[in-house]
Structure 1
Amino acid sequence: MITRGEQMLELRRMRMTASPAFLRGGFRPFYFGGAAWAVVALTLWLVALAGGVVLPTVMEPLAWHRHEMLFGFVGAVIAGFLLTAIPNWTGRLPIAGLPLAALAGLWLAARMAILFSASIGAGLAAALDIGFFLVLAAVAGREVLAAKNRNFPIVLVVLLFAFASATDHAEAMGAGVAPGLGAHAGILLVVVLISLIGGRIIPSFTRNWLAKQGEKHRLPGQPTRFDIGAIAITVLAMAAWTAAPFHRVAGLLLLLAGTAQLARLSRWGGARSVRDPLVFILHVGFAWLPVGLLLLGASIFVAAVPRTAAIHALTAGAMGSMILAVMTRSTLGHTGRALRADGATVAIYVLVTAGALLRVSAPFGLFDYTLSMRWSAVGWGGAFLLFLIVYGPILFRHRLGDPTK
């Protein structure tokens, strides 16, 4: 007698084999959609900032830009990463076919609803946006719980992301929410994810690469109590900053967290991986995390350190770089291609790093502010556009050697 579990497994297997390549893994639609939305949302924001267009949203232009880059763009990549990682964690077949298309469609509907919320209403836009994260958390939670996997805390982070998005919507609707609370909470959660996941994959990938080069000494090890402590102080510091962005206690905690994360990074042998761009970019991307924490802490004590520089070190720097590092590597790996960075991939890493550097340095007045902002957008946005050009076609193609194509 066939059990219900076996029936569900067979149904999922049938969806996999009958689905187009683009719907055979969560990374495909969500990496493509996230990268495309990064380019579109950035372009719309810059045009609106220049007075060339009035965005048809109920949100203030800056609030829309902040929300869509954090909850729209980053949210999509989190979904793609999570739906791709869960089968590796649990041994279960990935979400594919119509269910994956429906989830990606919900994300896209939320983006359009928020953009055109002046016409369709802020309530519906918020419901679709929050609903996406709740559905994602439910889908991911079901898979993790079914396999009794230990990664359920990451699912809880997605659930908290829904509440952060809801808080940001409430602020936009004039509900009396503290300014920036939802956005700060969202940044906190992404910083936690980078600290957690980066702390797993960076030393692991670096150790594997160094071992292949024949190195046997001073290889990065598994996370220790020091890593747990660094993550804990980072969570505490970001929580304090979210609750009281200008309090000196938050500033001290941020400085301590930045120092701890910098010490953490120094133990992973990044300088020795410079010959492999796929590994080295992970170190570069993670380096933005302690830089952002230290700048954010310093901005509370020193007026000459702009708060916007710190926030963009965490967002344009850490989030942007780590996202491209993970998207390029996992796209190659999960489509059966060699884990090797070609010239175009290296160009992607150079562009996103240069764009982040210009965006972070612009408020310091080292260069012409307007010119720095423009070239920052060209570099950072150009990195995601180049990702679409180089990796977009791969996301639509079958995995190399796939017998079911």
Structure 2
Amino acid sequence: MKSAILFRAGWRVFFWAAGIWAVLSMGVWSIWLAVNAAGGDAGQLGLTMSPQMWHAHEMIFGFATAALGGFFLTAVPNWTGAKAAPEAFIAGVFAIWLAGRIAVALSGVLPPALTALFDLAFLPILGAKLLTQLLRRPKPQNMMFLLLLSLVWLGDLLVHLQWMGLTGTEAQGLRGGLLAICAMIATLGGRVTPAFTRNALLRAGREDRLPVTRGPLEKAGIALPILTSASVLFGLPDLVSGLLAVGAGLATAGRLAGWQGWVLRDQPIVWALHTGYGLLALGFLVWGLSLLGLGSEIGALHILGIGAVGGMTLAVMSRASLGHSGRALIAPRAVAIGYVLVPVAVLLRWLAASFPGFYDLGVLASAVLWIVAFGLYVMALSPVFFSPRADGKAEA
């Protein structure tokens, strides 16, 4: 059965689910926005939290965590030589992720503590499984991802504590969770982007333009994003978080400058990684400046959310899906169009936040482009998720 194939590997079900949820959740949000922009009253959608906060929560702790689940369930066995998670575990942990999405959507009728229980269960169970695999060949550079997953989970916990009426930490949790995922991207993207670029340059016979890495800059490009997220999650002053974020943006940009991405501008599956990483650098910098009193914080957060998280996950999920399914590493035309649409969506959302007269049109147009980008991804790669490997090899 094709549905059974979906649970053979973590990348299959979670990369598919991330794309589906990117489209569905943004679609609901767009309809709510459109009704209100037209002068109607779309209400609360049956939620206990505001629809704005539901949207933010589901992009960070729904969409992005699905992408992380697919990545780690696939990458960690390759890093350590551990046995991949069995189909039963993958199906079970996916069901837990899905239960979290349903619980948050039904928060208007569920007790807040039960909503929290369902939503907060996914990352600890995923992390426990990853720990058993990482311990097979423990390395600090890999074990650190458990810390980053814990920071993401802490952000979600802070959100639920306010939804349960115990604290006032909703905004802190959302920002901290987003920044923790961005720290994850800074670390993972800092590995895969130069590595994949190097491979592509070698295939193209461009040994003279291989990526360059610089030790101190690489360390700063990992440490500063992590410290930025931690500063928000632990409630440090905006001045501290802002300065850390500016430093993170400059370090990230410095790393990217040495990776020779412009040499492969004819290969979308490579330049999409560089574009996402560039938007990560820009997002850190602009968000840090906003905390120092320069520019719109909401606009900056959407550079990180749409451009860095959305752009990098789209690039990594599509590449990994093609590679692990035994297909050529050439982005389908529909997916390549999606790569282009995401930065345009970033620009429109930033303009909407920066120019109030453009708000409704800019937000809706940005949302539509996001939906189209991930809709094209789902349309183009669903046959990959539901089909055996093209080369006949065992699942990897």
Partner of residue 131, structure 1:
121
Partner of residue 276, structure 1:
267
Deviations 1:355-394 (A, max 9, x none): 1221122222297322211111111111111111111121
Cα separation, partners in 2 of 1:142 and 1:114, compared to 1, 3 Å: same
* Equivalent residue letter for 1:275: D
Tell me which of 187, 193, 199 is aligned to 1:208: 199
Cα distance in 2 for partners of 1:96, 1:202 equals: 29
Partner of residue 248, structure 1:
239
Deviations 1:80-105 (A, max 9, x none): 11001012112233213221111101
Of 363-372 and 383-392, the range deviating more from structure 2: 363-372
Displacement of 1:27: 0.8
Cα distance in 1 for partners of 2:3, 2:381 equals: 20
Displacement of 1:18: 12
Cα distance in 2 for partners of 1:307, 1:246 equals: 15
Which of the pair has more CA radius of gyration? 1
Cα separation, partners in 2 of 1:116 and 1:103, compared to 1, 3 Å: same
Cα distance in 2 for partners of 1:179, 1:403 equals: 46
Cα separation, partners in 2 of 1:18 and 1:366, compared to 1, 3 Å: closer
Of 85-94 and 45-54, the range deviating more from structure 2: 45-54
Name which structure has the greater RCO, CA cutoff 8 Å, separation 6+: 2
Deviations 1:236-291 (A, max 9, x none): 33433455576334323322221221111101111111111101000000001111
Of 322-331 and 124-133, the range deviating more from structure 2: 124-133
Query: TM-score with structure 2 length normalisation?
Result: 0.92
Cα separation, partners in 2 of 1:106 and 1:361, compared to 1, 3 Å: same
Cα separation, partners in 2 of 1:148 and 1:251, compared to 1, 3 Å: closer
Cα distance in 2 for partners of 1:18, 1:301 equals: 52
Cα separation, partners in 2 of 1:120 and 1:29, compared to 1, 3 Å: same
Partner of residue 228, structure 2:
237
Tell me which of 149, 156, 165 is aligned to 1:158: 149
Partner of residue 39, structure 1:
23
CA contact (8 A) 1:48 1:54 kept: no
Tell me which of 142, 163, 176 is aligned to 1:172: 163
Partner of residue 42, structure 2:
52
Partner of residue 321, structure 1:
311
Displacement of 1:225: 2.6
Cα distance in 2 for partners of 1:300, 1:52 equals: 32
Structure 1, gaps ≥5 residues long? 1-16
Tell me which of 337, 349, 356 is aligned to 1:347: 337
Cα separation, partners in 2 of 1:98 and 1:89, compared to 1, 3 Å: same
SS in 1 for 2:47: coil
Partner of residue 211, structure 2:
220
Tell me the percent identity: 35
Partner of residue 30, structure 1:
14
Partner of residue 264, structure 1:
255
Cα distance in 2 for partners of 1:313, 1:296 equals: 9
Cα distance in 2 for partners of 1:403, 1:216 equals: 31
Tell me which of 69, 90, 111 is aligned to 1:100: 90
SS in 2 for 1:119: coil
Query: Which runs of structure 2 are paired with 1:282-321 in the superposition (5 Å)?
Result: 282-303=273-294, 305-321=295-311
SS in 1 for 2:185: helix
* Equivalent residue letter for 2:226: V
1:20 pairs with 2:4: yes
Q: How many residues align?
A: 388
Cα distance in 1 for partners of 2:269, 2:258 equals: 18
Structure 2, gaps ≥5 residues long? none
Cα distance in 2 for partners of 1:194, 1:205 equals: 15
Partner of residue 113, structure 1:
103
Query: TM-score with structure 1 length normalisation?
Result: 0.90
CA contact (8 A) 1:19 1:96 kept: no
Cα distance in 2 for partners of 1:227, 1:135 equals: 31
Displacement of 1:401: 2.9
CA contact (8 A) 2:182 2:280 kept: yes
Deviations 1:115-170 (A, max 9, x none): 01221222111101111111111111111113435412112322332222111111
Cα separation, partners in 2 of 1:45 and 1:366, compared to 1, 3 Å: closer
Of 123-132 and 74-83, the range deviating more from structure 2: 123-132
